[in-house]
Amino acid sequence: MRRSIKAEASFLLMIDLQEKLLPAIYNREEVIKNSVRILTAARELSVPSIVTEQYPKGIGPTISELKALIPEGSQITKVEFSCCQAPSFPDAFLNLKFNGGSKDTAILFGVETHICVLATAIDLIEKYNLNVVIAADACGSRTEQNHLLALDAARTVGCLVVPTETIVYHMLEKAGTPQFKALLPLFK
């Protein structure tokens, strides 16, 4: 299994960053800041996205800070905890593979780490045989302990768990490019 993070082989999976859920997340400001960073980088590097909302009728829509960064047509709604179990996920994933080239690396971020993020990571490995990268600082749970335990479990099942900055710089591959110059202010 490949461990490098290549922009052309990756897609983002943003999980449930919603209005009524985020206020309960212990590290929500960090999650939001790093979600903006990774979505901005994805746009600059043409990395496609799938964005989920868990029962938006009850939990509300994706937070306004992220809406402008989400590609049109990338959202799916779900009631399942694993995004892979949502009826619309297989079509969304196949659409990425056929319209965006072969994608074998899923970059996950969102909430809650110990529920939807972890369940999705396991399914992406088991059902789709994908490389799974978790942006640890763009994920959160209601308690720090649940977040940290889930990150440990994700490593155990084979996920690469790293900071958002690591993911962005690995996708950039080198300094001095127009993309590097565009994204550098995100980390200053």
Quick check: is 150 in a domain?
Answer: yes
Is 132 a member of any domain? Answer: yes
Which pLDDT score, from 0 to 100, does residue 9 have?
A: 93
Q: Percentage of the chain surpassing pLDDT 70?
A: 96
Sign of the dihedral through C-alpha 33, 111, 12, 153: positive
Q: Does residue 50 belong to any structural domain of this protein?
A: yes
Who wins on pLDDT, 178 or 188? 178
In a domain, 102, yes or no: yes
Mean pLDDT for the chain? 94
In a domain, 168, yes or no: yes
Dihedral, CA atoms, 6, 68, 134, 148, nearest 10 degrees? 160
Q: Which residue would you say has higher pLDDT here, 94 or 107? A: 107
Residue 100 pLDDT: 60
Identify which of 165, 30, 187, 42 has the alpha carbon closest to the alpha carbon of residue 105: 42
Range of the domain at 144: 7-187
Label residue 89 by pLDDT band (50, 70, 90).
very high
1 belongs to a structural domain: no
CATH number at residue 36: 3.40.50.850
pLDDT, residue 97, reads 65
Write the pLDDT tens digit of every residue in 128-162: 999 999 999 999 999 999 999 999 999 999 999 99
